[in-house]
Structure 1
Amino acid sequence: MSLNSAFRDAYNLAFQVSPIVLTGGNMTMAMPVIGLTGQLAALLQGGAGLEDFYATYLPIPGSNVINNAVATYPFANQQVAANAIIEQPKHISLLMIAPVRATGGYLTKLAIFTSLQAAFQNHNRAGGTYTVMTPAYIYTNCVMTGMTDVTGGDTKQRQVQWQIDFFNPLISQGDAKNAQNQLMGALTGGQVVTSSANSGTFSGAANSAINFLAAPIPL
């Protein structure tokens, strides 16, 4: 196998065959989506092409890598306006293309897809997250918001194209938990919160409350 062929196979695997990785939830280790379709054997045997796998995935135009909103209240000047940007969560959608490629595929299509849908649904219910890999950007700690049939009229097969939507929150559950624990620890210890990592929008109110509670009571 040539070096170019190896790079091409690695690219296809990462961004077209298995760009979705399930993490957290009930998973004890990260699970690539290819592991949910029972086709890891084709990968391990080597030499498999895109047509040997159940589905391929493509990023859908319109996904965010930066998503900001600007406050609409009156600004004192342009500099203030430039600092009034509010970061918003990012969205990413993939198109899953899963046509039947052989006669026997019609018999296994229902079983494979039902297993895949159930795995996604159980992972979502367990609070699991996803890593979504695209050629330009890798999204981590995503949550799945939808899986919709978007099959067009350019194929005689039905239900072969599915849009999978993900929502990329500003922080992960672990980040929020750590920030909350640090903030509550500072409040309990009577310390002034100074780190932006654990204070966020609460810093002003929290500092004022701590300073008030820590101040000596006048006699």
Structure 2
Amino acid sequence: MAIISDAFRNVYDLAFQKSPIILVGGIAANTLGGMLPIVALGGQALGAVQGALTNGVSTDDFFATYVPIPGSTLINQQIATYPFANQAVAANSTIQQPLTISLRMIAPVKDTAGYLTKLAIWTSLQNSLVAHNAAGGLYHIATPWYIYTNCLLQSITDTTGGEGRQQQIMAQWDFVQPLVTQMQANSAYNSLMSKLSSGAQVTPSTTAGTSIWSSAATAVGSAAQNAVSNVTNLAGVVNQYLSSPL
């Protein structure tokens, strides 16, 4: 029973404390599933591999631990303050706001070799994240109460205090989950542009509050057929008038 309990604890630590940040798209676009865990950047998993070779797999051997910072939002709405038609409308008018999530990264040096590899790991991590952001990459953030998907990385700030002798071992990661992601916006934009480029038009449907797209080519074709039919009928009338005796 103790072995099963330890296994569950290791899975929990790995998912929510050791590698809760997943890179999506960007530099991870060509990886399996288009996602890349944060421990795969900058050689952060090197310590875990070394520990696994000597003492077996342990989550304590990972480079850093991530802890959610109090203040993250699950629901964020702003009460509208513009003029309203009546009080009943004003009481229920809200505007949805983006969600925010912050993590504290704790990465102390654990042995003598760590002092030599710290600079290389952090430099590689910074370069990888800059390239990921420049390529339009997003982030999934796993926390014990909610998984924030398609987030943007806002900043990484040194928050190391003076209680220890080591310097720059804590960093705050700030993420924002936008209301509409770039992929969703591109999908909506491409759908709309394809309809507009094909000459489609919006016509009211029988269902209230909805509309349907109908092809303008059909409408134009029907009008053209009617025009041709009218011209043919008119030509017949003229021919009949000219051929009739005076």
The two structures share one fold, judged by TM-score above 0.5:
yes
The AA in structure 2 aligned to 1:22 is L
Q: What residue number does 1:34 align with?
A: 39
Query: Bigger shift: 175-184 or 152-161?
Result: 175-184
Distance 1:78 1:123, change over 3 A: same
The Cα offsets for residues 169-212 of structure 1, whole Å up to 9 and x where unpaired, read as 01221111122233334444012488xxxx9xxx9xxx9xxxxx
Tell me if structure 2 keeps the 8 A contact 1:17–1:56: yes
Distance 1:82 1:2, change over 3 A: farther
Task: Please say if 1:191 is aligned against 2:196.
Answer: no
Query: Bigger shift: 70-79 or 119-128?
Result: 70-79
Rg (Cα) greater in structure: 2
Q: What residue number does 1:10 align with?
A: 11
Tell me if structure 2 keeps the 8 A contact 1:130–1:141: yes
| Alignment size in residue pairs | 200
Q: What residue number does 2:124 align with?
A: 115
The Cα offsets for residues 36-59 of structure 1, whole Å up to 9 and x where unpaired, read as 132446369484333311100001
Give the whole-Å Cα distance in 1 for the aligned partners of 2:193 and 2:117.
53
Q: What residue number does 1:168 align with?
A: 177
Query: Bigger shift: 35-44 or 169-178?
Result: 35-44
Q: What residue number does 1:136 align with?
A: 145
Give the whole-Å Cα distance in 2 for the aligned partners of 1:185 and 1:56.
47
Shift of 1:73: 1.7
RMSD: 2.7
1:127 to 136, 147, 152: 136
Q: What stretches of structure 1 of length at least 5 have no aligned partner?
A: 208-213
Distance 1:3 1:193, change over 3 A: farther
The AA in structure 2 aligned to 1:51 is D
Give the whole-Å Cα distance in 1 for the aligned partners of 2:171 and 2:204.
47
The Cα offsets for residues 65-86 of structure 1, whole Å up to 9 and x where unpaired, read as 1111111023344431243111
Q: How many percent identity over aligned positions?
A: 51
The AA in structure 2 aligned to 1:62 is G
Tell me if structure 2 keeps the 8 A contact 1:50–1:56: no
TM-score (norm 2): 0.73
The AA in structure 2 aligned to 1:24 is G
Give the whole-Å Cα distance in 2 for the aligned partners of 1:94 and 1:64.
12
1:179 to 174, 185, 188: 188
Task: Please say if 1:68 is aligned against 2:69.
Answer: no
Give the whole-Å Cα distance in 2 for the aligned partners of 1:160 and 1:193.
61
Q: What residue number does 2:164 align with?
A: 155
Secondary structure in 2 aligned to 1:112?
helix
The AA in structure 1 aligned to 2:43 is G
TM-score (norm 1): 0.82
Q: What stretches of structure 2 of length at least 5 have no aligned partner?
A: 214-219, 224-246
Query: Bigger shift: 185-194 or 165-174?
Result: 185-194
Tell me if structure 1 keeps the 8 A contact 2:44–2:121: no
Secondary structure in 2 aligned to 1:104?
helix
Give the whole-Å Cα distance in 1 for the aligned partners of 2:204 and 2:145.
37
1:97 to 103, 106, 111: 106
The AA in structure 2 aligned to 1:50 is T
The Cα offsets for residues 101-141 of structure 1, whole Å up to 9 and x where unpaired, read as 11111011101111111111110111100001111110011
